[in-house]
């Protein structure tokens, strides 16, 4: 409808305003009158509600879903419609209606009766389900690729409830938390409730753009919903479902190419819907602990496409965090040859340490367009949330919400609106700060102290006192304590000013140290600075922590950490040039001095050991490693990951990890004569890396390859050498570019190098098949590490181990030009 109107310029301004306002009001009332509703309740033959049944208008892509109480509402313009009501396991019902005003239509869905086909199965013969599944598998790729692109509207509601909890756990007052967050006196109630509407765009093979149109979170006027259609998307025409975080291993689709190896099938029967035959087939894993679904899949005969799904996985499939995860998906015809999801629902239950949690996420799809037009840059932005999408009022949601709220959800919104207003006020934030800012000696000792001003976004952080105390043979017992200050100075882009400082003293060498560091946004770049005096590791990768070195020194009399003194000032600048292209530049002047041991102290001396010198090249002597020198160097580095994908939030843009490897190029120039500098060298290096490359049921692969060469090494001191992340103790550092057994310092180089690391994480592919071990949810790890320098020919490590969460235990063996050097166990935290 197009409305044209004209107001004479001779009408006084105030009168024009009144006329315009009145006309707009009448127009809005007229347009609202054009929308009517069909609403009602969907029940079964026994009067029990059928939760989350699909409701859609035949021959359109308009539809909705009932809520958990079976109540539905569908907004339509006046006209003649045929509305279909369907739910998996029930006979579909249809109602024709001439809609002139709002109507109430209650629906009773009868439990579906599935007839057995006229098939005779000989004793020991194959179940008829297998023939149907083979046809569905044969048509899998055709259905996967039949829609090249589409757009649609998506409504998502998520709800999580606390079903039970102890009053206290590990010193945490659960009862107080429940009271402050709107739960009842039994610590039960809704923890999270949110709704959102999005426009979702897809283009094969995997380009996605999603824009949030509206968002509502119970208990917060500022937060945005976590709901994303791309997070809830499943496509069983793909061979596997990668549900990271829920399952360590990809879950096999019941119609995957190799599904017959994983599943058993049982034919339940057929029904007739709209003149078409729908076969109901029960699916079960052949081996109960395989990553497979259980439940029912509904196949439409002749086209052999999926008509509906009602599946679940449990702890037996080794899923994480939840006990049972159920999936219910329903489809409807969008065109003669394409069926698309009408609704998708996940519900789950979980329990841990006395806590019981349950909930669901449901998405409802509408307004499909299978022939959309996209711009060239449409899919660079994967996700978008603009300001104001969480400011829509209750009247908006009453009109737009396709799934009615339940009585419990209405109460939660109402009660938590009061809490939200309170929690976002300055008096409340100040009261929180007053409680949390209280100084507690035990907390300060173990975890540090944080003083917050939430309203003004200012934070003061003080390091844990226990981490400030260390021991090494250069300083003896030493203190190195740090504190920092941060303040949000750009709320629109969530950017902070940061300043940190450290001060230290060695009780044996009697040296004071201190430094200051900071970072400040400059336009869309970040400027950093650092200055002071410190006693720091000769290996700039810091392969052994001060805490680990303290333990080994005091209790094993093994001083692995080698140190030198550095007085310095540096500036750095980081900037994202464009998309996946990033650049970094830094300049540093430093006065560097080699140090010797000043302490022989230890608590124990097993094996009557002697400390090694602080010179890693001559561990038995007392000679200094290098003469005192000054250094001025410039570092340039750039990386590119072949991707420009990003997400846009009200606080700014966030770039996403690329599916492609990241390529890096570095250049370091030591400039002789500049500010008295003694160094003169040029080091150029290149690297390529990628983590978590999906390899199907075999888990994922990570790799890092680097090579570098000193084009000029006229004047190079040990701190300028290319260093490597070695390992010599049980407690190992994590990271893809680390070694298991390499000496920390011996094989640093000032000539050239080639370095490579390859890791395969099998994600339980083997151990999940072993009784008892499968309950531990361990992941098998295999590593290969390689290094070649002129002094170290073809050094290779092979490592094997297991990982639980981020903790891993590895057994490594190293070889050098064919000879076995050493073998050892390593325990550490992985970030690969």
Out of 324, 351, 371, a domain closes at: 371
Ranked by mean pLDDT, the top range of 90-94, 389-393, 809-813 is 809-813
Contacts of 3 (CB under 8 A, 6+ apart): 27
- Give the other-Cβ count within 10 Å of 455's Cβ: 15
Cβ neighbours, 10 Å, residue 741 = 20
Q: Are residues 226 and 341 in the same domain?
A: yes
Q: Are residues 728 and 773 in the same domain?
A: yes
The token duo for 214 is 């509206």
Residues 178 and 42 in one domain: no
CA distance 36 to 78: 6
Do both 81 and 148 map to the same domain?
no
If asked whether residues 314 and 358 sit together in one domain, one would say yes
Mean pLDDT of 695-716: 94
- Round to whole Å and give the CA distance between 804 and 780: 9
- pLDDT per residue over 313-353, tens digit each? 988 877 877 889 999 999 989 988 899 999 999 999 988 77
Domain boundary residue among 344, 371, 398?
Answer: 371
**166 has pLDDT over 70:** yes
For residues 98 and 150, membership in a common domain is answered with no
Provide the 10 A C-beta neighbour count for residue 139. Answer: 17
Q: Does residue 422 or residue 604 have the better pLDDT?
A: 604
Instruction: State pLDDT tens for residues 712-768.
Output: 999 999 999 999 999 999 988 888 999 999 999 999 999 999 999 999 999 888 888
Cα separation, 830 vs 759, in Å, equals 12
Residues in the chain, overall count: 832
Long-range contacts of 499-505 (CB under 8 A, 24+ apart): 502/532, 502/534, 504/478, 504/479, 504/480, 504/534, 504/535, 505/478, 505/479
Strands 700-715 vs 752-761: parallel, antiparallel or unpaired: antiparallel
Here the tokens at position 728 are 């010599």
pLDDT at 40 over 60: yes
- Specify if 397 maps to a domain: no
Q: Give pLDDT, residue 27.
A: 37
The position carrying tokens 């009557």 is: 608
Give residue 650's pLDDT band: very low, low, confident or very high (50, 70, 90): confident
The b/e string for 20-34 (b: 16+ C-beta within 10 A; e otherwise) is eeeeeeeeeeeeeee
**Same domain, yes or no: 235 and 333:** yes
Mean pLDDT of 88-111: 90
Q: Is-contact 620 613, C-beta < 8 A?
A: yes
- The CA-based angle 756-758-760, given to 5 degrees, is 175
Q: Is the peptide bond before 205 cis (omega within 30 degrees of 0)?
A: yes
Give a yes or no: residue 440 inside a domain.
no
Both 264 and 295 in one domain: the answer is yes
Q: Does any domain span residue 551?
A: yes
Is the pLDDT at 28 greater than 50? The verdict is no
Residue 271 pairs in a beta bridge with 278
Count of the separate structural domains present in the chain: 4
Give the C-alpha distances (Å, rounded to integers) separating 416 from 183, 189, 191, 421: 10, 12, 11, 9
Q: Is residue 12 part of a domain?
A: no
The residue that leads in pLDDT, 556 or 22, is: 556
Asked, for residue 567, whether it belongs to a domain, the answer is yes
Determine contact, residues 718/815, Cβ cutoff 8 Å.
no
Domain that holds residue 692: 681-832
Among residues 389, 132, 170, which one has the least CA distance to residue 278? 132
Q: Report d(CA 694, CA 707) in Å as an integer.
A: 25
pLDDT of residue 118: 61
Give the number of other CB atoms < 10 A from CB of residue 353: 8
Percentage of the chain beyond pLDDT 70 is 93
Tell me the two tokens of residue 631.
């250094």
Contact, 357 vs 161, CB < 8 A? yes
Give yes or no for residue 383 having a pLDDT over 60: yes
> For residue 427, is it within any domain?
no
Regarding whether 178 and 89 lie in a shared domain, the answer is no
* pLDDT exceeds 50 at position 387: yes
Task: Tell me the pLDDT tens digit for each residue of 52-76.
Answer: 999 989 888 888 889 989 999 998 8
Cα Rg of the chain, angstroms: 33
* pLDDT score recorded for residue 186: 85
Residues 149 and 90 grouped into a single domain: no
Helix axes 407-423, 426-436, angle to 10 degrees: 80
pLDDT in tens, 175-211: 887 887 778 888 888 888 999 999 999 999 889 999 9
Q: Are strands 819-829 and 731-732 parallel, antiparallel or unpaired?
A: parallel
Q: Are residues 192 and 326 in the same domain?
A: yes
Residue 430 lies inside a defined structural domain of this protein: no
User: Which of the 8 DSSP states describes residue 90?
Assistant: B
Q: What pLDDT shows up at residue 10?
A: 36
Residue of 422 and 733 predicted with greater confidence: 733
Do 186 and 303 belong to one domain? yes
Q: Is the pLDDT of residue 379 over 60?
A: yes
Confidence of residue 819 (pLDDT cuts 50, 70, 90): low
Residue labelled with tokens 């002139």: 100
pLDDT (0 to 100) of residue 26: 34
CB 654, CB 603: distance < 8 Å:
no
DSSP helix/strand/coil, 264: strand
Enumerate residues 6+ apart whose C-beta is below 8 A from 681.
668, 669, 670, 710, 712, 713, 714, 715, 716, 720, 750
Question: For position 123, what pLDDT does the model report?
Answer: 59
Residue 449 lies in a domain: no
DSSP letter for each residue of 215-253: EEETTBSS------HHHH---TTSSEE--TTTBSSPEEP
DSSP 3-state of 542: coil
Two structure tokens written together for 663: 């390529």
Residue ending a domain, choose from 73, 108, 143: 108
- Arithmetic mean of pLDDT over the chain: 88
**Choice among 132-136, 514-518, 819-823 with the minimum mean pLDDT:** 819-823
DSSP string, 579-592: TTEEEEEEEEEEEE
Q: Could you give the angle at the alpha carbon of 95 between the alpha carbons of 94 and 101, nearest 5°?
A: 145
């Amino acid at each position: 409808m197009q409305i044209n109107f004209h107001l004479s310029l001779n009408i006084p301004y105030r009168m024009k305003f009144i006329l315009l306002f009145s006309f707009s009001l009448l127009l809005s009332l007229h347009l609202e009158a054009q929308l009517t509703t069909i609403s009602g309740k969907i029940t079964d033959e026994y009067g029990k509600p059928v939760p989350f049944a699909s409701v859609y208008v035949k021959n359109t892509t308009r539809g909705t879903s009932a809520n958990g109480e079976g109540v539905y509402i569908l907004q339509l313009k006046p006209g003649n419609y045929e509305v279909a009501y369907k739910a998996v396991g029930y006979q579909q019902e249809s109602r024709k209606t001439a809609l002139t005003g709002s109507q109430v239509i209650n629906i009773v869905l009868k439990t579906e009766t599935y007839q057995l086909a006229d098939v005779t199965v000989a004793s020991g013969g194959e179940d008829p389900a297998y023939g149907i599944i083979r046809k569905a598998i044969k048509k899998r790729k055709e259905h996967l690729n039949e829609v090249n692109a589409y757009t649609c509207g998506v409504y998502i509601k998520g709800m999580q409830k606390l079903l039970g909890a102890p009053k206290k756990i590990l010193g945490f007052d659960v009862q107080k938390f429940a009271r402050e967050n709107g739960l009842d006196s039994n610590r039960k109630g809704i923890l999270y409730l949110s709704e959102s509407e999005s426009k979702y765009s897809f283009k094969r093979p995997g380009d996605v753009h999603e824009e949030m149109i509206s968002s509502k979170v119970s208990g917060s006027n500022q937060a945005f919903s976590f709901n994303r259609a791309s997070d809830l998307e499943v496509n069983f025409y793909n061979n596997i479902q990668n549900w990271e975080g829920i399952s360590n291993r990809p879950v096999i689709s019941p119609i995957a190419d190799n599904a017959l190896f994983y599943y058993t099938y049982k034919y339940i029967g057929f029904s007739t819907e709209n003149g078409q035959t729908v076969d109901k087939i029960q699916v079960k894993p052949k081996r109960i602990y395989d990553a497979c679904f259980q439940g029912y899949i509904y196949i439409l005969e002749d086209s052999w496409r999926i008509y509906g799904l009602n599946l679940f996985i449990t702890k037996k499939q080794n899923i994480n965090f939840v006990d049972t995860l159920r999936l219910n998906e329903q489809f409807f015809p969008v065109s003669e040859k394409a069926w698309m999801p009408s609704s998708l629902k996940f519900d789950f239950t979980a329990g841990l340490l006395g806590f019981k949690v349950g909930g669901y996420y449901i998405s409802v799809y509408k307004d499909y367009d299978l022939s959309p037009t996209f711009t060239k840059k449409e899919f660079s932005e994967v996700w978008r949330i603009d300001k104001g999408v969480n400011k829509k009022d209750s009247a908006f949601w009453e009109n737009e919400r396709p799934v009615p709220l339940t009585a419990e959800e209405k109460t939660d919104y109402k009660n938590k609106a009061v809490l939200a207003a309170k929690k976002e006020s300055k008096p409340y934030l100040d009261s929180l700060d007053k409680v949390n800012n209280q100084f507690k000696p035990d907390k300060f000792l173990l975890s540090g102290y944080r003083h917050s001003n939430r309203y003004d976004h200012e934070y003061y952080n003080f390091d844990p006192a226990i981490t400030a105390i260390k021991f090494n043979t250069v300083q003896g017992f030493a203190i190195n304590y740090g504190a920092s200050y941060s303040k949000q100075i750009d709320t629109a882009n969530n950017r902070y000013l940061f300043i940190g400082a450290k001060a230290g003293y060695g009780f044996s060498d009697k040296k004071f140290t201190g430094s200051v560091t900071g970072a400040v946004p400059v336009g869309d770049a970040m400027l950093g600075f650092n200055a002071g005096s410190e006693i720091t590791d000769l290996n700039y990768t810091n392969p052994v922590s001060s805490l680990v070195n303290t333990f080994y020194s005091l209790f094993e009399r093994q001083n692995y950490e080698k140190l030198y003194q550095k007085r310095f000032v540096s500036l750095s600048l980081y900037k994202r040039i464009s998309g996946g292209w990033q650049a970094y530049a830094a300049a540093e002047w430093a006065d560097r001095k080699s140090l010797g041991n000043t302490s022989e102290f230890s608590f124990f001396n097993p094996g009557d050991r002697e400390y090694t010198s602080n010179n890693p090249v001559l561990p038995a002597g007392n000679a200094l490693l290098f003469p005192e020198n000054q250094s001025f160097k410039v570092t340039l580095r750039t990386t590119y990951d072949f991707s420009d994908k990003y997400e846009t939030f009200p606080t700014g843009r966030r770039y996403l990890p690329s599916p492609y490897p990241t390529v890096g190029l570095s250049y370091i120039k030591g400039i002789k004569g500049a500010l008295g500098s003694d160094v003169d060298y040029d080091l150029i290096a290149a690297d390529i890396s990628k983590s978590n490359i999906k390899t199907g049921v075999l888990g994922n692969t990570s790799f890092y390859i680097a090579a570098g060469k000193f084009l000029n090494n006229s004047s190079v001191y040990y701190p300028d050498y290319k260093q490597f992340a070695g390992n010599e103790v049980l407690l190992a550092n994590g990271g893809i570019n680390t070694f298991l057994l390499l000496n920390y310092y011996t094989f640093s180089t000032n000539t050239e190098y080639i370095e490579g690391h390859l890791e395969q994480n099998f994600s339980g592919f083997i151990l999940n098949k072993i009784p008892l071990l499968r309950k531990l949810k361990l992941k098998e790890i295999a590593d290969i590490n390689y290094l070649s320098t002129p002094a170290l020919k073809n050094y290779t490590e092979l490592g094997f181990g297991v990982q639980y969460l981020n903790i891993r235990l590895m057994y490594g063996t190293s070889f050098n030009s064919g000879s076995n050097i050493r073998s050892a166990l390593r325990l550490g935290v992985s970030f690969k």
